């Protein structure tokens, strides 16, 4: 017998994303934070939508273009492409966005990414 919980969760997530993408302000805020796991430094990458919901979390050992690209591809595969991506000024985001072809959708600014930064506080 197959469990129905994951099927229901996937359907709810799919409907939520379709409803949110209908808005003209479908924005993501991307941010990363240092975390210690077994006394080693890792990076927790997070994507937060315009309502403050955490879309995706991803842990890597490095904070470079390859890690940002993997995170963006994973998130875009699950949730589709956003209209605007708000990031801090980490150069890895810009390099990864160029590879994907979304460089014109990226916004950076001093206080633009506050919602993404605040999503780490509960962690």
H and E: helices and strands count for the chain: 4, 5
The pLDDT value recorded for residue 59 is 95
pLDDT at residue 122 is higher than 60:
no
Is residue 98 in some structural domain?
yes
Q: Does residue 123 belong to any structural domain of this protein?
A: no
List pLDDT tens digits, range 60-77.
Answer: 999 999 999 999 999 988
Residue at 103 is within a domain: yes
Q: Which residues constitute the domain of residue 109?
A: 5-118
Instruction: Please give the Cα distance from 6 to 108 (Å, whole number).
Output: 36
pLDDT score of 45: 92
What pLDDT digit, counting tens, does each position of 67-108 carry? 999 999 999 888 888 888 888 888 898 899 899 988 888 888
Q: What tokens appear for 61 in the block?
A: 């050992």
Please tell me what DSSP assigns to residue 50: T
**pLDDT category, 32, cuts 50, 70, 90?**
confident
Enumerate the H helices of the chain as residue ranges. 5-21, 65-79, 91-100, 114-118
Count of structural domains within the chain:
1
| pLDDT of 8 above 70 | yes
pLDDT tens, position by position, 51-61: 778 888 999 99
Question: Quick check: is 110 in a domain?
Answer: yes
Predicted confidence at residue 119, as pLDDT, reads: 55
The reply to whether 13 falls in a domain is: yes
* Residue 70, domain member (yes or no): yes
Can you tell me the mean pLDDT for 16-45? 80
Percent of the chain with pLDDT over 90: 26
CATH number at residue 16: 3.30.420.10
């Amino acid at each position: 017998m197959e469990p129905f919980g994951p099927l229901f969760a996937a359907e709810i997530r799919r409907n939520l994303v379709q409803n949110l993408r209908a808005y003209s302000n479908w924005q993501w805020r991307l941010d990363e934070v240092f975390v210690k796991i077994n006394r080693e430094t890792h990076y927790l990458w997070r994507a937060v939508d315009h309502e403050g919901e955490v879309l995706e979390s991803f842990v890597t050992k490095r904070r470079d273009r390859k890690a940002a690209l993997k995170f963006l591809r994973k998130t875009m595969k699950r949730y589709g492409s956003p209209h605007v991506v708000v990031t801090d000024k980490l150069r890895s985001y810009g390099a990864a966005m160029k590879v994907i072809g979304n460089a014109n959708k990226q916004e950076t600014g001093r206080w633009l990414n506050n919602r993404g930064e605040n999503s780490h506080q509960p962690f």
